């Protein structure tokens, strides 16, 4: 702590921060542009100037940039000082010289940091009459819009894009008052985290191009706290609606999870909610086709099928909420409930859960991943599977080098000084994966091999750490020495981390990762073990229990079941098509609840339109084991309702007694917490619907929400009552509590004078730290204090390429591999075309070249794919784009002959 004086009052502030951070933390309104809490200080914009005095006798003082000056003990500053205030107004005046003043037509308007800071400094009139400089804008692809004339040269974009996110194709060009921030030539921004530019840019240079298609001002949006559904990490988002449709996703700060940033899949994948693939009406099979049926009739139909039916089974979903899964489980009974994961997925997720539950390694939050100082990634391409981890790892490699800059007494927040001292030195990061990954440029060493060989490397690292861990016989010398190098790096780290997951479709890889973590823990190290999860609620679904898909198929096959209720799940992505066909054809009744018209829905006799994430309330368990609640941004139109509500109606139709006591989300949560002890803590994920602040519900819409009284004026001038929300403490209105709701119930960040996302500093207990009131979510899995258990011991044999067969391995793509986001047009545009990849040597052997057609034979089905050459793939392995190409339930490691066509 340090004691500082601000305008003659003293305050205690945290040590190791700049005066700007200290002032913002104390609640002062001090304007800034180039500083960003995640990017630190560089002193470019000069906006945050304050007067600093040597001591109490110094009456003259001198201007300093608060972002570049440490809040050291005894520092005396004035924010109000006239010189400082007029200098700050001068800076805005300088910035506005060339700004086009086009707020009315700018997408940033109403949530623009430049607007806010201009008002804050008091600058009003442009005193110059000379022409403004102008630029030519670029098409930066389907995600980001570019409007350079608005630029104020704060350099945040390139600092974020290049220095923080590791991107290369955005740069600052030219100089003086004509610095151009863009690409060397037009084209799609290549970095997977480019979307954050929308929030990083303090004005309207980089804006959300998908929002532009259905634009709405922030003050006209109705918003709700949400959780990303496009991977297992559970990044917190804000879902925003206007006129009954989802308009955009914004990052919702969670100090423990996503911090300030999302990946582009998470930000732009939302358009599936608006897409053509949505089911909006209840559909029933009539004359062999699915046709709309009034909802009441559908309920009647359920009333004919369900009561007394002893042969109903339910297939849950790793992308549906706990509540929806639990409602289905309650409807059909636990023993007739299946988790909805593929056989292999279920097996691997269970294995990972067991490892995490048993310990000794603890699953880290994303913010802990970011500060790990030595990392092993085993069998994962995190950029494409759990993208936000990759951004965290780009920061983790700076941890060890920053110990050196600490010695030079360079404060860590003095960003460019730190970067100039560190240069390209990176801390240990080892990536072992079947193919090249987008993070390889940050890696100390990479290892590319077949899944079994990846596992062998992992086992060898564990053995090098602890001789009690099983050794790996016949390990190649190169792999052996790499294993020793990795073991040494992890062993000498303070916060080592192992990352693995199911993407290599290999239990051995996961077990090897667990062994490495155990080896480190046994040596007394505080090791983190992070597993990626295939879907948004895989871990939750696993904690819920239930058999795998084969078990469900068997129940129908053996005649124990004939009625199947499928919750938010496309079985064709989980099992071979023939098996799913057999299963669905054999069942007498197939009832699907989903928001997308999937092949599974197409096979059902009754399809019930479900609310997508922004239209639903519920809880998801992230790969960290963090249960997080998401809330409806709006009540969906037509027949759409939340899955668990459909299920309550089904329970009622089935005559189930629970239906009587279940009417709200809290009822379902209470029953769930009571029914499943592993999930008991989910009640703590967010306050219940009874919560009130100052006697009010929390408003989903900001104060300035305009047009509220005119939205329906074309129909009726008397305004209808806003819909009730029995399920949450949020109100579908601008009326209600606005200021500082509990973090898990914060629908948007706004503070007086701070209309942009930068208002976050008013919601944090410390800058970059937790939200006031604690970051949302509750961790469900903590390893025991004293961990038992032993090393896994089944070390696989080395991978051996076969003469005329190839091992098919899924390769993941941030855009395309995930089921929901690939329905979003902007994401779909960036998804790869189908391919089958082999290395150059194998291509030569097969006598094929890139683009030639090749045939894959799997379980009697032939798939034709164009060849792609991936020189980095190991010999004997063929890769296909997961999700883009569906090979009999992806995720399967299968051997196939390849034949040239």
Secondary structure class of 809 (helix, strand, coil): strand
Burial class (CB in 10 A: 0-12, 13-18, 19+), 28: middle
Stretch that binds other proteins, among 174-182, 493-501, 631-639, 801-809 (CB under 8 A): 174-182
Which token pair is 854?
Answer: 């090749």
Stretch that binds other proteins, among 416-424, 465-473, 556-564, 821-829 (CB under 8 A): 416-424
Secondary structure class of 220 (helix, strand, coil): helix
Secondary structure class of 878 (helix, strand, coil): strand
Q: How far is the CB of 7 from other proteins (least distance, A)?
A: 20
Which token pair is 760?
Answer: 């976050």
Closest CA to 505 of 877, 819, 846, 228: 877
Secondary structure class of 634 (helix, strand, coil): coil
- The Cα 277–Cα 212 span in angstroms is 21
Nearer to other proteins by C-beta: 171 or 684? Answer: 171
- Whole-Å CA distances, 406 to 368, 375, 396, 401, 413: 20, 21, 16, 9, 11
Q: How far is the CB of 428 from other proteins (least distance, A)?
A: 19
Sketch the per residue contact string, 422 through 451, with other proteins: x for CB under 8 A, - otherwise. xx-x--------------------------
- Candidates 357, 416, 438, 772: give the one binding other proteins (CB under 8 A): 416
Using CB under 8 A as the binding rule, whether residue 28 contacts other proteins is answered as no
Using CB under 8 A as the binding rule, whether residue 174 contacts other proteins is answered as yes
- Candidates 45, 71, 510, 679: give the one binding other proteins (CB under 8 A): 45
- The Cα 24–Cα 7 span in angstroms is 14
Phi, psi of 695 (to 5 degrees): 80, 5
Nearer to other proteins by C-beta: 130 or 559? Answer: 130
Q: How far apart are the first and last CA of the chain?
A: 71
Using CB under 8 A as the binding rule, whether residue 420 contacts other proteins is answered as yes
Nearer to other proteins by C-beta: 276 or 424? Answer: 424
- Candidates 57, 125, 175, 288: give the one binding other proteins (CB under 8 A): 175
- Candidates 9, 57, 60, 176: give the one binding other proteins (CB under 8 A): 176
Sketch the per residue contact string, 51 through 90, with other proteins: x for CB under 8 A, - otherwise. -----------xxx---x------------------x--x
Strand order of the sheet with strand 429-433? 445-448, 429-433, 374-378, 496-500, 528-531
- Candidates 18, 47, 399, 616: give the one binding other proteins (CB under 8 A): 47
Counted residue by residue, the chain has a size of 901
- Candidates 124, 134, 139, 177: give the one binding other proteins (CB under 8 A): 177
Q: How far is the CB of 412 from other proteins (least distance, A)?
A: 13
Q: How far is the CB of 804 from other proteins (least distance, A)?
A: 49
Using CB under 8 A as the binding rule, whether residue 790 contacts other proteins is answered as no
Q: Are 363 and 340 in contact (CB under 8 A)?
A: no
Using CB under 8 A as the binding rule, whether residue 20 contacts other proteins is answered as no
Q: How far is the CB of 123 from other proteins (least distance, A)?
A: 12
Q: Are 881 and 813 in contact (CB under 8 A)?
A: yes
Q: How far is the CB of 128 from other proteins (least distance, A)?
A: 6
Closest CA to 628 of 699, 557, 582, 685: 685
- Candidates 6, 20, 77, 95: give the one binding other proteins (CB under 8 A): 95
Kind plus residue range of the DSSP H or E element containing 241: strand 236-242
Using CB under 8 A as the binding rule, whether residue 607 contacts other proteins is answered as no
- Candidates 11, 38, 72, 94: give the one binding other proteins (CB under 8 A): 94
Using CB under 8 A as the binding rule, whether residue 124 contacts other proteins is answered as no
Which token pair is 42?
Answer: 């560089």
Contact residues for 487 (Cβ-Cβ < 8 A; gap 6+): 461, 464, 465, 519
Using CB under 8 A as the binding rule, whether residue 43 contacts other proteins is answered as yes
Which token pair is 111?
Answer: 């949530």
Q: Are 566 and 319 in contact (CB under 8 A)?
A: no
Nearer to other proteins by C-beta: 128 or 857? Answer: 128
Nearer to other proteins by C-beta: 166 or 451? Answer: 166
- The Cα 567–Cα 619 span in angstroms is 15
Burial class (CB in 10 A: 0-12, 13-18, 19+), 55: exposed
Kind plus residue range of the DSSP H or E element containing 347: helix 343-358
Q: How far is the CB of 88 from other proteins (least distance, A)?
A: 11
- Candidates 5, 85, 97, 190: give the one binding other proteins (CB under 8 A): 97
Q: How far is the CB of 391 from other proteins (least distance, A)?
A: 23
Q: How many residues bind other proteins (CB under 8 A)?
A: 41
Pairing of strands 76-78, 2-6: parallel
Nearer to other proteins by C-beta: 84 or 651? Answer: 84
- Candidates 82, 408, 477, 717: give the one binding other proteins (CB under 8 A): 408
Positions that interact with other proteins (CB under 8 A): 42-47, 49, 62-64, 68, 87, 90-91, 94-95, 97-98, 127-128, 130, 153, 155, 172, 174-179, 408-410, 414, 416-417, 420-423, 425
């Amino acid at each position: 702590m340090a004691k500082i004086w601000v305008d003659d009052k003293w305050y205690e502030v945290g040590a190791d921060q700049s005066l700007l951070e200290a002032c913002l933390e104390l609640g002062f309104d001090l304007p800034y542009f180039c500083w960003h809490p995640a990017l630190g200080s560089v002193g470019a914009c000069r906006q945050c100037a304050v007067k600093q005095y040597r001591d109490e006798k110094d009456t003259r003082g001198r201007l300093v940039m608060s972002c570049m000056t440490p809040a050291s003990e005894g520092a005396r500053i004035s924010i109000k000082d006239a010189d400082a205030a007029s200098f700050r107004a001068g800076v805005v005046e300088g910035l506005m010289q060339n700004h086009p003043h086009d707020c009315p037509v700018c997408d940033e308007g109403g949530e623009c940091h430049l607007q806010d800071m201009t008002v804050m400094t008091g600058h009003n009139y442009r005193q110059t009459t000379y022409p403004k400089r102008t630029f030519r804008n670029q098409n930066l692809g389907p995600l980001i819009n570019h409007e350079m004339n608005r630029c104020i040269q704060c350099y945040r974009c390139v600092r974020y894009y290049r220095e923080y996110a590791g991107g290369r194709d955005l740069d600052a060009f030219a100089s003086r008052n004509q610095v151009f921030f863009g690409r060397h030539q037009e084209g799609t921004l290549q970095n997977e985290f480019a979307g954050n530019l929308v929030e990083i840019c303090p004005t309207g240079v980089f804006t959300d191009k998908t929002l532009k298609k259905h634009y709405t001002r922030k003050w006209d949006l109705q918003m709700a706290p949400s959780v990303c559904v496009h991977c297992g990490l559970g990044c917190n988002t804000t879902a925003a609606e206007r006129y009954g449709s989802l308009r955009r996703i914004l990052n919702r700060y969670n100090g423990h999870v996503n911090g300030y940033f999302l990946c582009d899949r998470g930000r732009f994948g939302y358009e599936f909610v608006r897409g053509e693939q949505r089911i909006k009406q209840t559909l029933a099979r009539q004359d062999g086709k699915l046709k709309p049926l009034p909802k009441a009739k559908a309920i009647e139909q359920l009333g004919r099928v369900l009561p007394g039916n002893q042969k109903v089974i339910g297939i849950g979903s790793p992308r549906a909420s706990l509540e929806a899964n639990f409602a289905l489980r309650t409807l059909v009974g636990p023993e007739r409930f299946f988790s909805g994961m593929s056989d292999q997925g279920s097996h691997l997720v269970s294995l990972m859960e067991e490892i995490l539950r048993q310990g000794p390694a603890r699953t880290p939050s994303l913010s802990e991943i970011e500060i790990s100082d030595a990392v092993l990634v085993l069998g994962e391409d995190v950029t494409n599977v759990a993208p936000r981890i990759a951004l965290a790892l780009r920061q983790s490699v700076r941890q060890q080098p920053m110990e050196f800059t600490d010695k030079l007494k360079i404060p860590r927040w003095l960003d460019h000084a730190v970067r100039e001292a560190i240069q390209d030195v990176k801390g240990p990061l080892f990536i072992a994966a079947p193919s090249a990954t987008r993070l390889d440029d940050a890696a100390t060493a990479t290892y590319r091999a077949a899944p079994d060989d990846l596992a062998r490397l992992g086992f060898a690292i564990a053995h090098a750490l602890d001789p009690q861990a099983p050794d790996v016989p016949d390990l190649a010398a190169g792999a052996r020495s790499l294993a020793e190098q990795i073991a040494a790096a992890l062993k000498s780290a303070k916060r080592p981390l192992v990352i693995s997951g199911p993407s290599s479709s290999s239990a051995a890889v996961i077990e090897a990762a667990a062994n490495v973590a155990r080896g480190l823990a046994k040596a007394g190290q505080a090791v983190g073990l992070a597993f990626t999860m295939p879907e948004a609620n895989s871990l939750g679904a696993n904690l819920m229990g239930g058999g795998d898909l084969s078990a469900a198929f068997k129940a129908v096959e053996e005649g124990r079941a004939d009625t199947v209720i499928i919750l938010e799940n496309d079985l064709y992505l989980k099992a071979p098509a023939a098996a799913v066909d057999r299963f669905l054809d054999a069942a007498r009744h197939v009832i699907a609840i989903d928001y997308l018209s999937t092949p599974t829905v197409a096979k059902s006799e009754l399809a019930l339109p479900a609310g997508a994430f922004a239209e639903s309330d519920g809880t998801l368990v992230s790969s960290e084991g963090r249960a997080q609640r998401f809330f409806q941004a709006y009540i969906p139109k037509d027949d759409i309702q939340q899955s668990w509500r459909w299920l309550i109606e089904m329970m009622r139709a089935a005559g189930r007694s629970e239906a009587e006591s279940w009417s709200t989300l809290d009822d379902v949560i209470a029953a769930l917490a009571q029914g499943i002890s592993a999930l008991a803590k989910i009640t703590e994920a967010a306050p219940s619907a009874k919560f009130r602040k100052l006697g009010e519900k929390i408003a989903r819409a900001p104060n300035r929400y305009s047009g509220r009284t005119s939205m329906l004026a074309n129909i009726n001038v008397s305004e209808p009552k806003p819909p009730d929300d029995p399920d949450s403490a949020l109100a579908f209105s601008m009326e209600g509590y606005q200021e500082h709701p509990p973090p898990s119930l914060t629908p948007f960040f706004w503070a007086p004078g701070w209309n942009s996302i930068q208002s976050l500093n008013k919601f944090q207990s410390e800058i970059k730290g937790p939200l006031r009131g604690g970051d949302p979510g509750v961790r469900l899995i903590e390893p025991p204090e004293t961990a038992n258990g032993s090393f896994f011991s089944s070390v696989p044999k080395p991978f051996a390429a076969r003469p005329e067969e190839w091992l098919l391995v899924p390769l993941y793509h941030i855009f395309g591999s995930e089921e929901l986001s690939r329905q979003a047009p902007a994401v779909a545009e960036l998804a790869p075309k189908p391919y089958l990849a082999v290395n150059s040597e194998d291509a030569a052997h097969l006598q094929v070249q890139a683009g030639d057609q090749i045939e894959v034979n799997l379980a009697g089905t032939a798939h034709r794919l164009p060849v792609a050459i991936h020189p980095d793939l190991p010999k004997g392995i063929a890769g296909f784009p997961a999700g883009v190409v569906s090979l009999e339930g992806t995720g399967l490691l299968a051997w196939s002959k390849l034949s040239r066509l």
